[in-house]
Amino acid sequence: MKKVFLLLLVLNIVSSSSLLAQDALTYISENKSKSNETPTKVPATFEFNALSRDYELDNITTEMAGEHPLGNLVAKKLYLLDEKYTSQVPLVPGNPQTKTLIKKPVIYDAVKRIDKHLKKSVKKGELTIDSATYDMNKVLDVALNVLTSNTEAFEEAIKSSADIQSRIELFSKRVNLIY
């Protein structure tokens, strides 16, 4: 009886040690494959539902929108951006002074800075009017369509962008509008 018990114990130890050895081998090979991989950070892309704004742009006249160096379409979209993103509220009831509230100020400020940068670049001759107009139209389309969307991650990406050029790239290349 003792011999049978001892034999079973030895068989159990041998079989469990071979299983543990295979687990250890698997663990070692997984760690090697993970350590050899170079982590590359892929920039996040954002997708938002979009609508065509042509029906709203048709109602805006050139007198309302004013002139813009990048064309009438950009001027109309900037006017629409101001209409959608800003609102006036009275400071105190009965007082004629008002306070301007901006919805999504991070996005609004980024668009305004991009507009200023593109106008300066065209004026200095660093960019052609066509490329600046294309970039500004894309930025304005994104800004007009994300107003009602959840944009917390997008706003964080805007804040983390170091310069204006990376913000332009964020708006034009890393955002997909789904029409």
pLDDT band at 147 (very low <50, low <70, confident <90, very high): very high
**Per-residue confidence (pLDDT) for residue 106, from 0 to 100:** 96
Same domain, 58 and 24: no
**Per-residue confidence (pLDDT) for residue 22, from 0 to 100:** 54
Q: Pick the range with the lowest mean pLDDT from 27-31, 41-45, 83-87, 104-108.
A: 27-31
pTM score, whole prediction: 0.74
Range of the domain at 92: 46-178
Same domain, 126 and 53: yes
Q: How many domains does the chain have?
A: 2
Same domain, 17 and 54: no
Higher local confidence (pLDDT), 43 or 105: 105
Same domain, 165 and 79: yes
Same domain, 30 and 86: no
Q: Does residue 71 carry a pLDDT above 90? A: yes
Q: What is the pLDDT of residues 150-162, one digit of tens each?
A: 999 999 999 999 8
Same domain, 36 and 50: no
Same domain, 141 and 169: yes
Same domain, 72 and 159: yes
pLDDT band at 16 (very low <50, low <70, confident <90, very high): low
What is the average pLDDT score of the chain?
85
Q: Average pLDDT of 5-10?
A: 67
Q: Does residue 74 carry a pLDDT above 90? A: yes
Same domain, 158 and 91: yes
Same domain, 35 and 51: no
Task: Give the DSSP per-residue string, the chain.
Answer: -HHHHHHHHHHHHHHHHHHHHHHHHHHHHHHHHHHHSPP--PPP-EEEE----HHHHHT--HHHH---TT-HHHHHHHHHHHHHHEEEEESSTT---EEEEESSHHHHHHHHHHHHHHHHHHHHTSS-HHHHHHHHHHHHHHHHHSTTS--HHHHHHHHH--SHHHHHHHHHHSEEEE-
Same domain, 165 and 100: yes
Same domain, 50 and 36: no
